[in-house]
A and B are shown apart, each in its own frame.
Chain A
Amino acid sequence: MKIKSALKPLLLVFLLSGISLMLVSPAFPFLAQYTKPVSAGGAPQRDHWDFTAFAVTWSLNPSAGSNVQGDRTVADVMQASFNTWLLAPNAVVVVSRAADSSATAAGFDQRSSSNINLVCFVCSGDFSKDSSTLAVTMTTVSDAVGEATGHGGSSRFVGQILDADILFNPAVTFSTGGSSPGQDLQTVATHEIGHFFGLDHSGIVRAVMFPFAPPSQQALAYDDVAGLASLYPKPVPDVHTGSLTGTVRFSSGGAVFGAHVLAESTTGAQAFAGSIRKTPIGTLSFPDGTYRLDGLPPDAYIVIAEPLDQPITNSDVSGYGPAFSQASVATGFTTRWH
């Protein structure tokens, strides 16, 4: 919606009248990656595995160069990193380690029935030319029902993840622990495994899925847990959570698509046991202006809606608009919070 001035205050009416705290139900958090069906008119679907379709495993190529140093093996680090997600509260993910592999090429072969999810430290490519790129995760999803899964069956839904390969840059120095120099491998691996499960980058700076790696951040944040649990909800959750819903509208009544909406606790309450770190939880609004923040433990929150204008722009979430057949997220409003 076009407005007269991007900076004019009070153009946005941020409606929270629809806020309610309810049990978790299927929703569309900002954190997930979306796939638009190849057929016209279909709604975008969140990427995730179907753990009942075929056994989801990961295979390690145990080879590693001198760029990986430390007092733990890469296998130990990868297992610990997977365990971080496997043990996340409120979520059920079923992934195990398969036999090691000597493969050095990532990818997905639809003609094969034995694709593996490769974890590789010696795979190179265009990404490994730059030491600024620590690692990449390449996922293959189905655009349509009935596509070959690469495991002898057919895909069951749009957005079904069929393959995910994690490649660590051989040009980067990693530390597996101890006093070895380099980027903490478990920190990077935990982030990449979030992509393995279908999570996109988070806008929450302290989340594991925040795209820039700190020196060491191996424990999940509330934002990470909310994202994973929304994709793979545990039938009986460890901690009951709820959702905040509402609508972001311009004062003219028009819906705001793509507003960045965040819920931040105003208390010191800790809902999850263990090392889960308390952070805000975020999402983007839908074409009709509605938003839904899932995975919120019972607490008091402020809710913030802000535009993805500079320095964050529509281009930074370029997949979001097309997934909903929208040209761009709306930015012509000012930040509001309640």
Chain B
Amino acid sequence: MKTALQLPRYLLWITIAASCSATTVIPVSVESLTETSSEIIEARALTSWPQWNPEHTIIFTYTRFEVMRTLKGPSMPEIVVKQMGGSADGYTQKVAGVRQWQAGEQSVLFLRSSDAADGSLVVTGLMQGNFRMSRAPDGEVVVSNGISGVIAYDRASKKISRYQGSRMTLGDLEQRVMKAERP
């Protein structure tokens, strides 16, 4: 049996966000996400639906959001976000770590136009630009993009370390976005 003193250090190395990121990723900062996103919004998921691409080879899932606040880009009451994967006609397509939203779920979304030039929006950084909103025990609204909330690999230092860009208060995220927009 391990001692209580040993446990936290032990957990630091094994308590990792499982299924938390898109396949293989390198964490990017809020500032970088802000720079590369055309739209940043706080939104609530309303409904989702799957749809094959025109070639009928790839399933995408579209989710309609009610926009609660716009931090960057044009202000719109609703937007639709496209993601790889979904279920249709007896098949499910998956990209590890890409998760779909449930109705009512609230997120801060960093978005840009799809490469398909079909008018749809996609999450910047595959899923890194999806900061889910939740309420902490003290009542404060916190956000997390689920990307290595505990540990991340830093290429520059070649060390595994805590990733600071993941979980924060909603207020802190808003401030970082605003500062990145108008440094």
Contacts and interface: CB of A to CB of B under 8 A. Distances in A.
Interface of A: 6-7, 30, 33, 35, 38, 47, 105-111, 124-144, 147, 162, 188, 191-192, 195, 200-205, 210-215, 260, 262, 264, 280, 282, 302, 304, 306, 310-313, 315-320, 335, 337-338
Given A129-B115, A200-B19, A316 B25 contact: no
A147 B91 contact: yes
B18 A202 contact: yes
Interface string B74-91: 000000001011010111
B166 A33 contact: no
B96 interface: yes
B94 A126 contact: no
Contact of A135 (B23, B149, B155): B23
Interface string B25-47: 11110000000100000000000
Interface of B: 1-2, 7, 10-11, 13-28, 36, 53, 55-58, 82, 84-85, 87, 89-97, 99-100, 102, 105, 112, 114-116, 122, 124-126, 128, 132, 134, 136-137, 142, 144, 146, 148-153, 155, 158, 160, 166-167
Contact of B17 (A33, A47, A124, A311): A311
Given A127-B84, A315-B132, A316-B20, A138 B167 contact: no
Nearest to B57: A107
A136 B125 CA distance: 12
18 contacts: A107-B57, A110-B89, A128-B115, A129-B112, A130-B124, A130-B126, A132-B25, A133-B24, A135-B24, A136-B96, A140-B91, A143-B90, A147-B90, A282-B14, A304-B7, A310-B142, A312-B150, A315-B134
